Structure 1
Amino acid sequence: METEAVTQLIRAGLPDAEVQVSGDGSHFDAIVVSKAFEGLTPIKKQRLVMDSVREQIASGELHALSIKTLTPAQSAAEHRL
């Protein structure tokens, strides 16, 4: 699986998100910035992102995804995306 494919899956699940993915074909790291995360617990933020790639993880196409979730305000504070 390519980083762009993972990016597109996450964007499909969270259309307003800014997504940055890096990885080696089976293990990926994603930074996801979305207004949808506002007011959610860290676990609920992770679930929103994982729901967008659940099928690929279940099939083994995507082996591992490490996720950092940020609201736009948190991203601005960290000078991220």
Structure 2
Amino acid sequence: MPMDAREIEELIRDALPDATVTIRDLAGDGDHYAAVVVSESFRGKSRVQQHQIVYQALRGQMGGALHALALQTSAPPQA
């Protein structure tokens, strides 16, 4: 059963409460999404580490209920 964008966003926000999360359904099928996640938690971490944090937040759904996720992550700009 596919995941909806709201469920993906909630999982990410549960793990990263400060995050700004934008989810877009790429194919209209509930299986292929793009996500932009901005969180202070990413500061000082490599892109790979940032993506691992998001994948962990998805609790094993990648490759199952969530087939594909194009992911962009970053820390917010410093004031």
Q: TM-score, normalised by structure 2?
A: 0.84
CA deviations on 1:13-39 (whole Å, 9 max, x unpaired) are 111111000113001100000000100
Match of 2:8 among 6, 9, 12: 6
- Give 4+ residue runs of structure 1 displaced > 2 Å after superposition: none
Which structure 2 segments of 5+ residues have no match? none
In the alignment, the residues of structure 1 paired with residue 39 and residue 50 of structure 2 have an alpha-carbon distance, to the nearest angstrom, of 9
The reply to whether residue 67 of structure 1 matches residue 54 of structure 2 is no
Q: TM-score, normalised by structure 1?
A: 0.82
SS of corresponding position for 2:70: strand
User: Identity rate of aligned residues, in percent?
Assistant: 39
Say how many residue pairs are matched.
74
In the alignment, the residues of structure 1 paired with residue 65 and residue 71 of structure 2 have an alpha-carbon distance, to the nearest angstrom, of 17
RMSD between superposed Cα atoms in Å: 1.7
Query: Which structure: greater helix fraction?
Result: 1
Q: How does 1:1-81 map to 2 (within 5 A)?
A: 1-23=3-25, 24=28, 25-57=30-62, 60-73=64-77
- Between 1:46-55 and 1:26-35, the stretch displaced more is 46-55
